[in-house]
Structure 1
Amino acid sequence: MSSPVGRRAFLRHTGLATAGVAAAAAGLLPARQANAEEQRVPNLPASFYDRPGLEGMPRIDYESMPVVNVRDHGAAGDGQTPDAAAFHRAVDALDAQGGGVLYVPPGHYLFTPPPAPTREYWRRQLTNIHVVGEGESSTVVFEQPRIEGDTYPNVAGWALWDSVNISIRGMAFTWSPYQLSRNSHPHYSLTLSQQDRAQFIGVVLDQGQPGLWMNQGNGYWVVDCTLRNVSADAIHFESCTDSVAAYNYVENCYDDCVANVTNTRSTPDPSNLTGVRLVHNTVVFVPWGRGVTLGGAGQITEHNWVESVGNAGIFSTVGGFADWPAAPLYDSVVRDNTVIRGNLAQREDNAYYRFGTGGFQAGLALIMEIRGLTLERNRIYGSQVHGMAFGIQGWYGISGSDFVVRDNDIQGATGGGVQVTNNSTVAGLDLERNAMLGTTTGSVLVDGAMTGVDTAGNQVSQAPVVTGSVDGDFDGFTVVDTPLTYRDVYQDFRQAGDETGWATAPALPVKLPRHTANVRAFGARGDGRTNDLLAFEQALASLPADGGVLRVPAGRYRLDPLPDHDSSAFTRIKHHLLVSGRRNVHLRGDGAESVLSFGSADHQGLRFLDVSDCSVSGLRLELRQQPSVRRNRALLEFSAARSCVVDDVTAVRSSGPGIRIDSSRLVRVTQSRVEGAGTYGIEVAASRQVRVDGCRVSDSRDNAIETSWVGSIQCEPQYVRISGNRVDGTREGSGVGVVGGQQVVVERNEIRDTYLPGVYLYERCSNFPPKRIEITGNRLSATNTGRLTYVRGAISLDGLSEGRTSGDIAIADNTVDGTTFAGVWVGGITPISSTYSVLDRLEVTGNTFRRVGTVGVDIDDDQRTHIGELVLA
């Protein structure tokens, strides 16, 4: 017998309220009667299917199906009891009825690593089975393989191979503990192969490597799904037909985010791979891979937003990887897409790329053979090198024919608008009515050979430059002095040179500006019930251009985001309260009695964007309801900021970091507290000359304090000092995480009770490998003691790559008291990482080790061969 499902299962989350389409979900579900009908799952409303891009999506009649509850077959959902067997029994019960709904009520359903040689946590061939949960409250948790368990070259969470007519709706999947490294063994979350009809609706995937992998088959629909913090591809079609990814939200993923890839080993003729559409997706923060990729024949790529991407925002390739033979891309359309700040990784301070001859070189990059491609009405803004690249210098060129490039808007590229590389040939190009403004070199750079060219109506800031050959009409360009409509608030940070020494840290101003705006005077009640956001905005707007004080007296101020008040230009990152383009603005409260209570886990709390000489002090920031799955939003963020201070701020229960410093210079976070952060406690992202000192961070989910090169821009962290802080416990992460950097100092911190190492130097991917890192004078107790830890030291160096300059690491005068494995470990091959650390120099001297599980310093013989100079004392 199945238990009644009840309508509340779908009133809270229906699989619609993700990827920025919450409005489509409001009021669309019918009320259910308290009778036998309660045992049926309601269908998705007609308005769900009526959205552009979902034409032809098969409608699943959930209401007609029998329902089986996994709890009735022994699933505990307590996050501690393995539940795979219960899911098998529940499917068996549905199979006996010819299929139906596998209902997963709220809970955390644990799936543990299988015994070797099995590599799938749950493998099942499903027919006419539809898994339905209640959104993020119905979460499947995959445990990472233990360091002392079996080591697999790859594992899969749910492997639903050769299934027919299935769906997963309103479910969440996550991995534990924290792990975010591209250079690691694959840990697939959901993988399908040779599928016939599958739908994924409102599915949330958090971590894993990769996320949703669909290899061959047809009839895949991925709609309204959210994927965050995935270490490889997020949504991956491989040699698929008649498949759609639409209205999905992808954030912080380390390879292709929404991908249509052709495996030319299994499918040597991609002309048969038709009917793939990637439409209305949002992609933000792509540290390693590409935003959207093209493959097969007749692909439609429309209305996607791609923001802050390390490599190309949109990329064409068919084959070309490892031993895959090349094949053409046929007759595809790329239309009405937006790419903001593409190709960010191509910088001089990235020791992995060869600047100018490596990387992807454009916001939209085309390589290999293309037979028919229309690029129309796309907006490509702020590319690190070129706007569009036909071929990649130093890698693959392009051999293409029948191109239409019209009505595109390219602004603010640091190179040219369009480049045709010297290893490329183009036969047949219509270049019409494009704008190429604010380029620093020629609007069109032709180093290769082009024939059959027709140009007309193009407006450019600079004339084309031809060093190769052009056959046809190449006169359709008008040089104009038109100002840009795109403003890149990160431009100065992206173009700044390297730091050369420690700068004086900023401090709270001794004398505040004369003008003060008390939020109470503008109508803020501070009663914890009234939305005070408009009063805060009005008080902020009253401050003069030269700055002032926003006074927040004691009270509980409820701040809930308002439509048309929560967005900024050229970004999909939303906020509660925004301070933008200001200088000398200071938020002052009365300490713990001045509470800002934020209502949305999907919005930054206080966001300071493009500001200078600002500060926040004497405030307590809270998120009223913390989600169970990472959301990556901070309670306080400084982004594109200069000379700013955070002092005496408490941040509690964030959905992401408590405090985040992003793509900024000269910022200090001091004497502040972060409690129960949803990801990192304090995150320093792609910033320089930052100090975090005298802070206390407790019970963060991931690393308590984190510094890396990944932010709204990508750049090597330089001159970052993390000193005199106290870390009291992490739920899944380390005490201090360090990802790359030049002159990053971790000193005199008290770190205790961490799941992963007390100090953890690791690599998210090969970009920006470490240079000079110092770990000195820290006191670590009971660190790296998590049951599923995957590295072997209280201080761990894990899989650090070699660039033009390899790491120079000093680990000196630290005290380690109590750890499961070694005091210091350098590696290495583990169930997670797949490469040894490559270092120029490593110094481990003057450290004290007590109550270590193995040895003081653990560096195996193979690892030692990857270290140029090793000093142990």
Structure 2
Amino acid sequence: MQSFLRATRALVVFALSASVVAAPLVVNVRSYGAAGDGQADDSASLQRAIEALNAAGGGELYFPAGTYLHSEEITVSGHVKVYGTGSASVLKALAPARAALVFMNATQCGAEDLRFVTEAKTRLHEQNSAALVMDHAENCFIRNISIEGSASVGILIANSHGVAISGNHIEDTLADGIHVVNGSADVIVENNSASNTGDDSFSAVAYASWPKQTDNVVISGNTSISSHARGVACIGASHCGIFNNTIRNPRGHGIAVAYESTYDTYRPFGARLKGNRIATVNPSKGTNSVLVSGARDVEMESTAIDGGNPVLVSDSSGIVVRNLVVNEQVGAPILERGHVQMKIEGVSANGNALAGGVSIVRKIQ
């Protein structure tokens, strides 16, 4: 549990230090020619506003109410905050491949009270096709953002640490809703909602080709609705904290803590799951409410499952399942495949406490 608190401590230090800094320069994009009328391409004006901010050594980039069209990615760095008035401040991408607001090499940065709109029909994989990106960012936040559509992920966190992502809504992306990757650490993803994401709603991923394992990502209090893949995924990352999330009707697994050889990930370890609720009507074949695969030292506590398919634990060690509650399922609530070392402490199914043996666990090939 101590590792899960490091991110919180880092963000508290950031908040306290920010409170004693002198009032920052505020750059209004309208002052640099941005029309915000939903007709003109404001890319050149936005670049001039960013250059003014850079010349001043950082500050705040402000978008008053309006619809700002842009055909290029918007990249900021240093100590900078980008904000608007809420849903009335719209950044609309004209080119899905260059849609992103990118925080690059930024410290004590943030984005809040903005709406991002992208009309994308083809899934892309480049970083700049996301709606909002933090790359090599430290002690930053993303909050009260609305993302409607994206050719790839909604929010991408890469090579960053000490990032808090809270109170955002993401829908209709062609890839993940929020994706934390490439050695990022001490990241909190809390109280966000994601619907109809083209892949996972919320994910922490660590590829073995990267020198550092993504670590200590806390995914807490979020809501996932109708993801095209998993609701919450900890793929190759270490010390994932997955707490009090609500997952409804995922097309893939509800929650996955797994090693994926196809994508050459690390093997996950140290994950803690508690208080999650997964409800699935008409589950897809080959999916599970919770999947633990190729992992070690994983504890799952107070998980409530309504409908869907059983929990599957595969080729994993040091697994603890505690206080599992399953309803609207038939058969053993836990499936076991391969070499598994697992301890079970309390399972109930359809209102009845299960005593053990084959009533709880069924081995499969």
Q: CA deviation at 1:277?
A: 0.6
Match of 2:313 among 390, 401, 408: 390
Q: CA deviation at 1:342?
A: 6.9
- The answer to whether the 8 A contact 1:106-1:139 is kept is yes
- The answer to whether the 8 A contact 2:334-2:361 is kept is no
CA distance in 2, matches of 1:181, 1:461: 48
The question of 1:339 aligning with 2:283 is answered no
Q: CA deviation at 1:300?
A: 1.0
The question of 1:65 aligning with 2:6 is answered no
Match of 2:327 among 406, 411, 416: 411
- Write the deviation string for residues 255-293 of structure 1: whole angstroms up to 9, x where unpaired: 1111111122113x63xx43211111111111x210011
The question of 1:432 aligning with 2:355 is answered no
CA distance in 2, matches of 1:262, 1:364: 19
The question of 1:329 aligning with 2:271 is answered no
Match of 1:227 among 170, 174, 180: 170
CA distance in 2, matches of 1:266, 1:250: 27
CA distance in 1, matches of 2:363, 2:259: 28
CA distance in 1, matches of 2:253, 2:94: 33
- Write the deviation string for residues 277-320 of structure 1: whole angstroms up to 9, x where unpaired: 1111111111x210011142222110111111111110112453
Q: How many residues align?
A: 349
Q: TM-score, normalised by structure 2?
A: 0.87
Match of 1:189 among 131, 144, 165: 131
Which secondary structure does the structure 1 equivalent of 2:269 belong to? strand
Distance 1:414 1:105, change over 3 A: farther
Distance 1:283 1:227, change over 3 A: same
Distance 1:412 1:341, change over 3 A: same
Q: How does 1:559-574 map to 2 (within 5 A)?
A: none
- The answer to whether the 8 A contact 1:412-1:438 is kept is no
CA distance in 1, matches of 2:339, 2:289: 20
- The answer to whether the 8 A contact 2:86-2:144 is kept is yes
More helix by share: 2
- The answer to whether the 8 A contact 1:228-1:253 is kept is yes
Match of 2:83 in 1: 132
Q: CA deviation at 1:331?
A: 1.3
Match of 2:147 among 205, 213, 220: 205
Match of 1:297 among 232, 238, 255: 238
- The answer to whether the 8 A contact 1:211-1:234 is kept is yes
Match of 1:87 among 28, 46, 59: 46
CA distance in 2, matches of 1:252, 1:180: 14
Distance 1:405 1:236, change over 3 A: same
Which secondary structure does the structure 2 equivalent of 1:71 belong to? helix
Structure 1 regions of 5+ residues with no counterpart?
Answer: 1-52, 113-120, 146-153, 347-358, 392-397, 440-456, 470-873
Which secondary structure does the structure 2 equivalent of 1:91 belong to? helix
CA distance in 2, matches of 1:296, 1:382: 28
Q: CA deviation at 1:461?
A: 12
Identical columns (%) = 22
CA distance in 2, matches of 1:285, 1:341: 9
Distance 1:123 1:437, change over 3 A: same
CA distance in 1, matches of 2:330, 2:37: 52
- Write the deviation string for residues 297-355 of structure 1: whole angstroms up to 9, x where unpaired: 22211011111111111011245343x2x432111100001111178232xxxxxxxxx
CA distance in 1, matches of 2:300, 2:230: 17
- Write the deviation string for residues 528-582 of structure 1: whole angstroms up to 9, x where unpaired: xxxxxxxxxxxxxxxxxxxxxxxxxxxxxxxxxxxxxxxxxxxxxxxxxxxxxxx
The question of 1:263 aligning with 2:214 is answered no
Q: How does 1:209-608 map to 2 (within 5 A)?
A: 209-238=152-181, 239-267=183-211, 270=213, 273-286=214-227, 288-294=228-234, 295-322=236-263, 324=264, 326-341=265-280, 344-346=283-285, 359-360=286-287, 362-368=288-294, 370-383=295-308, 385-386=309-310, 388-391=311-314, 398=315, 400-414=316-330, 416-421=332-337, 424-427=338-341, 429-437=342-350, 458=354, 463-464=359-360
Give the structure with higher Rg (CA). Answer: 1
Q: What is the one-letter code of the residue matched to 1:437?
A: N
CA distance in 1, matches of 2:217, 2:32: 38
Q: What is the one-letter code of the residue matched to 2:229?
A: G
Distance 1:96 1:465, change over 3 A: closer
Which secondary structure does the structure 2 equivalent of 1:433 belong to? strand
CA distance in 1, matches of 2:131, 2:247: 23
Q: What is the one-letter code of the residue matched to 2:293?
A: I
Specify which structure has the bigger relative contact order, considering alpha-carbon pairs within 8 angstroms and separated by 6 or more residues. Answer: 2
Q: CA deviation at 1:185?
A: 6.5
Distance 1:327 1:281, change over 3 A: same
- The answer to whether the 8 A contact 1:180-1:230 is kept is no
Q: What is the one-letter code of the residue matched to 1:327?
A: Y
Distance 1:190 1:229, change over 3 A: same
Distance 1:283 1:244, change over 3 A: same
CA distance in 1, matches of 2:259, 2:327: 28
Match of 1:122 among 70, 73, 95: 73
Q: TM-score, normalised by structure 1?
A: 0.38
Say what the alpha-carbon RMSD is for the aligned residues.
Answer: 2.7
Match of 2:3 in 1: none
Distance 1:266 1:157, change over 3 A: same
- The answer to whether the 8 A contact 2:80-2:106 is kept is no
Q: How does 1:133-172 map to 2 (within 5 A)?
A: 133-144=84-95, 154-172=97-115
Match of 1:104 among 57, 63, 66: 63
- The answer to whether the 8 A contact 1:91-1:102 is kept is yes
Q: What is the one-letter code of the residue matched to 2:233?
A: T
Match of 2:4 in 1: none
Q: CA deviation at 1:134?
A: 0.8
The question of 1:74 aligning with 2:33 is answered yes
Distance 1:319 1:342, change over 3 A: farther
Q: CA deviation at 1:463?
A: 2.4
Structure 2 regions of 5+ residues with no counterpart?
Answer: 1-6
Distance 1:103 1:465, change over 3 A: closer
- Write the deviation string for residues 457-504 of structure 1: whole angstroms up to 9, x where unpaired: 7458982565579xxxxxxxxxxxxxxxxxxxxxxxxxxxxxxxxxxx
CA distance in 1, matches of 2:39, 2:58: 29
- Write the deviation string for residues 702-722 of structure 1: whole angstroms up to 9, x where unpaired: xxxxxxxxxxxxxxxxxxxxx
Which secondary structure does the structure 1 equivalent of 2:73 belong to? strand
Q: CA deviation at 1:124?
A: 2.2
- Write the deviation string for residues 125-154 of structure 1: whole angstroms up to 9, x where unpaired: 411110010111000001246xxxxxxxx5
- Write the deviation string for residues 431-479 of structure 1: whole angstroms up to 9, x where unpaired: 011213389xxxxxxxxxxxxxxxxx7458982565579xxxxxxxxxx
CA distance in 2, matches of 1:374, 1:197: 29
CA distance in 2, matches of 1:99, 1:414: 59
- The answer to whether the 8 A contact 1:303-1:336 is kept is yes
Distance 1:126 1:334, change over 3 A: same
- The answer to whether the 8 A contact 1:257-1:292 is kept is yes
